[in-house]
Amino acid sequence: MSPFGNGALGRVVRSGVGRRRVQTVVIAVATMMAVASAVVAGALMVAAAAPFDHAFAEQRGAHLTAQFDPARTSAARLAETGRLDGVTASAGPYPSTAFRPVDRTGFRLPTLTLVGRPAPDGDVDRVELASGRWAWKPGEIVLSSSFEGPGVGIGSALRASGTANGPALTVVGFAVSSGRSADAWTTPAQVDALAAQGGPVTSQMLYRFDSSGTERQILAHREKIAGSLESGALLGTQSWLDTKRAADQGAAATVPFVTAFGVLGIVMSVIIVSSVISGAVGTGLRRIGILKAIGFTPGEIVRAHMAQALIPASVGIGVGVPLGNLLAMPLLADTESLYGTVSLSVAWWVDIAVPAAALLVVGLAALIPARRAGRLHTVEVLAVGRAPRTGRGRWAHRTLARLPLPRPVTQGLATPFTHPVRALAMLLAVAFGTAAVTFAVGLTSSLSAVGSSQDPENRAAVTVTTAAPHTIAAPPPPPVGGGEQPTPSPANGDTAGPAAADPAKVRSALDSQAGTASYYGTLRTEVAVAGLSGSVRASLYEGDAREGGHAMLSGHWISGKGQVVVPTRFLERTSTEVGDTIRLTHERESADLRIVGESFDTSANAQEIHADMANFPSAEPSTFLVEVKPQVSADAYAHRLAAVVRPLGGDATTTPPAERKGVILVMDAIALLLTLMLVCVAGLGILNSVVLDTRERVHDLGVCKAVGMTPRQAMTLVISSVAAVGVLGALAGVPVGYALHGLVMPVMGRAVGTGMPSSVLDVYAPVQLLLLGSGGVALAVLGALVPAGWAAKVPVATALRTE
615-638: pLDDT as tens digits: 998 888 888 888 888 888 888 888
Which stretch of 407-416, 505-514, 793-802 has the lowest confidence by average pLDDT?
Answer: 793-802
Helix (H) or strand (E) holding 716: helix 711-751
**Residue type present at position 218:** I
Q: What pLDDT is recorded for position 802? A: 46
Beta-carbon contacts of residue 273 (< 8 Å; ≥ 6 apart): 27, 30, 31, 309, 313, 361, 362, 365, 366
**For 481, left (φ over 0), alpha (ψ -120 to 50), or beta?**
left
Q: What pLDDT is recorded for position 795? A: 77
Instruction: Indicate the pairing of strand 184-186 with strand 112-116.
Output: parallel
Q: Who has greater pLDDT, 638 or 110?
A: 638
pLDDT of 135 higher than 80: yes
Residues 236/470, Cβ–Cβ less than 8 Å: no
**Which band of pLDDT confidence, cut at 50, 70 and 90, is reported for residue 759?**
confident
| Alpha-carbon distance values, 508 to 425, 452, 626, 643, 649 (Å) | 70, 30, 13, 14, 14
Q: What pLDDT is recorded for position 209? A: 92
**Which band of pLDDT confidence, cut at 50, 70 and 90, is reported for residue 57?**
confident
Highest mean pLDDT among 203-217, 265-279, 315-329, 780-794: 203-217
Tell me the angle at which helices 240-252 and 215-227 cross, rounded to the nearest 10 degrees.
Answer: 150
Give the pLDDT confidence of 447-500 residue by residue, as tens digits.
888 877 766 766 778 888 886 443 333 333 333 333 333 333 333 333 334 467
Which stretch of 227-241, 322-336, 509-523 has the lowest confidence by average pLDDT?
Answer: 322-336
Beta bridge partners of 304: none
3-class DSSP assignment, residue 627: strand
pLDDT of 106 higher than 60: no
Give the pLDDT confidence of 397-443 residue by residue, as tens digits.
777 777 787 877 787 777 777 778 778 878 888 888 888 889 888 88
3-class DSSP assignment, residue 751: helix
Residues 668/449, Cβ–Cβ less than 8 Å: no
3-class DSSP assignment, residue 596: strand
Span 328-335, mean pLDDT? 65
Length of the chain: 803
Q: What percent of the chain has pLDDT over 70?
A: 76
Q: Who has greater pLDDT, 53 or 206?
A: 206
Residues 406/235, Cβ–Cβ less than 8 Å: no
**Which band of pLDDT confidence, cut at 50, 70 and 90, is reported for residue 92?**
confident
Q: What pLDDT is recorded for position 246? A: 63
Tell me the angle at which helices 51-59 and 240-252 cross, rounded to the nearest 10 degrees.
Answer: 140
Q: Who has greater pLDDT, 789 or 259?
A: 789
| Pick from 381, 365, 384, 356: nearest CA to 277 | 365
Q: What pLDDT is recorded for position 285? A: 61
Tell me the chain's radius of gyration from C-alpha atoms: 34
Q: Who has greater pLDDT, 618 or 14?
A: 618
Q: What pLDDT is recorded for position 648? A: 85
pLDDT of 678 higher than 50: yes
Instruction: Indicate the pairing of strand 201-209 with strand 157-160.
Output: unpaired
Rounded to an integer, what distance in angstroms lies between the CA atom of residue 705 and that of residue 799? 9
Q: What pLDDT is recorded for position 330? A: 67
Q: For 625, phi and psi rounded to 5 degrees?
A: -105, 125
Give the pLDDT confidence of 152-177 residue by residue, as tens digits.
778 888 877 555 566 778 889 888 88
Number of CB atoms found within 10 A of residue 717's CB: 27
Residue 656 DSSP code: P
Q: What pLDDT is recorded for position 411? A: 78
Number of CB atoms found within 10 A of residue 662's CB: 22
Average pLDDT, the chain: 77
- The predicted model scores a pTM of 0.65
Span 557-569, mean pLDDT? 89
3-state helix, strand, coil in the chain (%, to 5): 55, 15, 30
| Alpha-carbon distance values, 498 to 102, 187, 471, 647 (Å) | 13, 31, 8, 12
Give the CB-side neighbour count of residue 560, counting CA atoms within 13 A.
Answer: 0
